[in-house]
Amino acid sequence: MDDMNVSDKPDNFTLTNTEGEKVNLNDLIGDNKLLLLFFPFAFSSVCADEMCTTRDNMKLYNSLQCNVVAISVDSFFTLKAFKKANNLNFTLLSDFNKEVSRQFNCLYKDYFGAKGVSKRSAFVINRDGVVEYAEILDDSDKQPDFKEIYRILKA
């Protein structure tokens, strides 16, 4: 399976949000750009830090006309509790069956004994559904390069 790269156009997908509703990629993009963040597990320290940093920067994303969505393989029930516990102000989606993480080629084969966990990754997708930025991290202790993401979104 190839990585999702800049200039690729991901297939439309449908996942479940924290309210149990089905949401698809085209709806997520709408009239804006989309920052798609994959993260390993809700309630883990680095993931919570990343999601809270994202929450704290939502005014910036909104000013850049960018929708923000975070995806993990956790159940939507877990993500709902995680969203509430951290007062997250953006959409979380459950990729419980790992289909979207597989499409973006950002799954660990083995993550501390767990099979098929999303790697911490960031993708910027433009209004036409084309990837403008792609970063897949093998080290889950690292954060995406948010400075570079901001630069891409401003361009």
Q: What is the mean pLDDT of each run of 10 residues along the chain (155 residues)?
A: 78 96 93 96 92 96 96 97 98 97 94 94 95 95 95 93
Report how far residue 92's alpha carbon sits from residue 72's, in angstroms, rounded to the nearest whole number.
8
Q: Are 69 and 104 in contact (CB under 8 A)?
A: no
Q: Which of 51, 47, 36, 46 is nearest to 4 (CA)?
A: 36
Whole-structure pTM value: 0.95
User: Hey, how many other C-beta atoms are within 10 angstroms of the C-beta on 4?
Assistant: 19
Domains of the chain listed by start with CATH number: 14-154 (3.40.30.10)
Q: Are 30 and 36 in contact (CB under 8 A)?
A: no
Q: What angle do CA 150, 38, 24 make, to 5 degrees?
A: 95
Q: Which pLDDT belongs to residue 1?
A: 52
